[in-house]
A = this chain, B = another copy of it.
Amino acid sequence: MSLSVAASTQALSAEKAARLLDRVRKAAPRVHCITNAVAQPFTANTLLALGAVPSMTIALDEVAGFAASADALLVNLGTLDDERRQAIPAAIRAAKAAGHPVVLDPVFIDRSPGRADYARDLMGMGLDIIKANEAELNALFDTRDGVDDAISRGAVFAITGAEDKIESQGEDFRLINGHQLLVRVTATGCAAGAVLAAFSALEDDKALAAAAGLSVFNIAGEIAAERCGGPGTLVPELLDALYQLSPQDIERRLKTA
């Protein structure tokens, strides 16, 4: 992927990631999550294990208040029913008006044209971080010009895959932590999005926030994958690992390309 506006690619330092994790734990930011029905419990538990605080309502007459008083907003397009469709723009407007970052996870827009249209409309609202895999990214933009254009207006893209890429106006990052067993558990990607949102609440450099947040989640996933007996025990082990994650764990395991 060649982006005209992209600057140098830089390795994320373990020290920066660990320092940002420490700041998240100390500040305990509240992340309001409009996320899909399948991901809600795991996402809330991920934020709590991280040291952040979740709020999860999708009710239209409450969501703006919850988003305005939170520190960041996560919008995940899985199970995109009527109530969520109406709540999302209201929540984004409230979060942006209050100066809070917004993370979009356009889940499965490659499988649902209506969902892709909806996601494109959201792009005009000043989103801070878009976390998507290649298929979702291709559904969001007809050409790479769309990505470039969004980046030139300040958006950061966290493009997930075997290798994760963070693309932005400033630094870009290439990240290769994670474990293949994570895809055998539902909503791990959704939960990672919530971690990005928590990190972005504390750090103005949203590319750094995205890189550090994704790395922290994926390192916890690696530790859990080594301790677990399969995808069932992976979930509790991942939450434990995230809760206990030390600067030494990050130093030892962080892999950037």
Which residues of A approach B to under 8 Å, CB–CB? 36-42, 44-45, 48-49, 54-62, 65-66, 69, 78-83, 108, 111-115, 183-187, 228-244
User: A49-B184, A229-B240 are known contacts. Are A79 and B58 too (CB-CB below 8 A)?
Assistant: yes
Please tell me if the beta carbons of B56 and A184 are within 8 angstroms of each other in the complex.
Answer: no
Residues of the B chain whose Cβ atoms lie less than 8 Å from the Cβ of A112: 57, 62, 65-66
CA separation between A82 and B66, bound complex, in Å? Answer: 16
Known contacts A41-B187, A48-B186, A186-B48, A82 near B56 by CB under 8 Å: no
CB pair B49–A115 under 8 Å, yes or no, is no
Say how many copies of this protein the assembly contains: 3
A186 contact from B44, B114, B243, Cβ within 8 A: B44
Chain B residue contacts of A235, Cβ below 8 A? 45, 232, 236
A172 to chain B, nearest CB (A): 31
Instruction: Give CA–CA (A121, B37) in the complex, Å.
Output: 27
Q: Is the interface of A mostly helix, strand, loop or mixed?
A: helix
State which of B65, B78, B240 has its C-beta within 8 Å of the C-beta of A111. Answer: B65
A240 to B233, CA, bound (A): 7
A223 shortest CB reach to chain B, Å: 11
Q: A60 contacts which chain B residues (CB < 8 A)?
A: 81-82
Closest CB-CB distance, A217 to chain B, in whole Å?
Answer: 13
Could you tell me the distance between the alpha carbons of A237 and B240 in the complex, rounded to whole angstroms?
Answer: 13
